Amino acid sequence: MADTFIKMQISIPPIEGVEDIPVAAVEALAAKMGFSPDRVQDIAQALTEACVNAIIYSDSDADVEIVILACQNSLILEVRDKGPGFEPDAVPPPNFELISEMGVKNGGFGIHMIKALVDKLEIESSNKGTVVRMSTFLSKADN
């Protein structure tokens, strides 16, 4: 048995609402690892956003996979879908001035939110699918 990290994997169908199950599991894990309640909430919110994006933009019936890597000092979450992909660098940050004038007609700012909630965000995307990798590191403040 490996003692440097523990890997877990959950597959869910692309049905909005089902992501609550892996999110609840990750919340329990993050709390057990020693993350503070605020950081547990950040991790849960980031995972929710990533899963919902994968579900909403998935064109196929293929499952969305959530890969969890629990290391001694970090928690790495991957959300993998088989959707059509997107260009991560083409997603602009929210323009709050414009939003205050025009409102928000559709969608939100999921990627922006994830970026703000975790320590490191990596996105690999192609026309065969997307992997969103979110890393959060345990800090002294968590203990």
Partner 1 sequence: MTHSSFLQDELKISSKEEDNKVTLKLEGALSATTVPYFRQTVQPYLDRPVAEIILDFAGVTKVVSRGVGAAIDVAVQIKKIGGRMRVENIGKFSRSLYIQGVHLVADVPELEGFEP
DSSP 106: S
For partner 1, the binding residue among 1, 3, 4, 61 (CB under 8 A) is: 61
Angle at alpha carbon of residue 21, lines to 74 and 72, rounded to 5°: 15
| β-strand partners of 37 | none
Sequence-separated (6 or more) residues with CB below 8 Å from residue 63: 11, 12, 13, 14
Total residues belonging to the chain: 143
User: Given the rule CB under 8 A, which of 34-42, 69-77, 84-92, 128-136 is the region that contacts partner 1?
Assistant: 34-42
Among 101, 128, 140, 143, binds partner 1 (CB under 8 A): 101
Tell me which residues in 63-92 interact with partner 1 (CB under 8 A).
Answer: none
Instruction: Candidates 10, 25, 70, 113: give the one binding partner 1 (CB under 8 A).
Output: 113
User: What is the SS3 string spanning 33-61?
Assistant: HCCCHHHHHHHHHHHHHHHHHHHHCCCCC
CB of 105 to partner 1, least distance (A): 7
Q: Does 94 bind partner 1 (CB under 8 A)?
A: yes
Q: Candidates 11, 73, 108, 120: give the one binding partner 1 (CB under 8 A).
A: 108
Q: Is residue 14 involved in binding partner 1 (CB under 8 A)? A: yes
Cα angle 136, 138, 139; round to 5: 120
Interface contacts to partner 1, rule CB under 8 A: 13-18, 20, 38, 41-42, 45, 48-49, 52, 55-56, 58, 61, 94, 96, 99-110, 112-113, 116-117
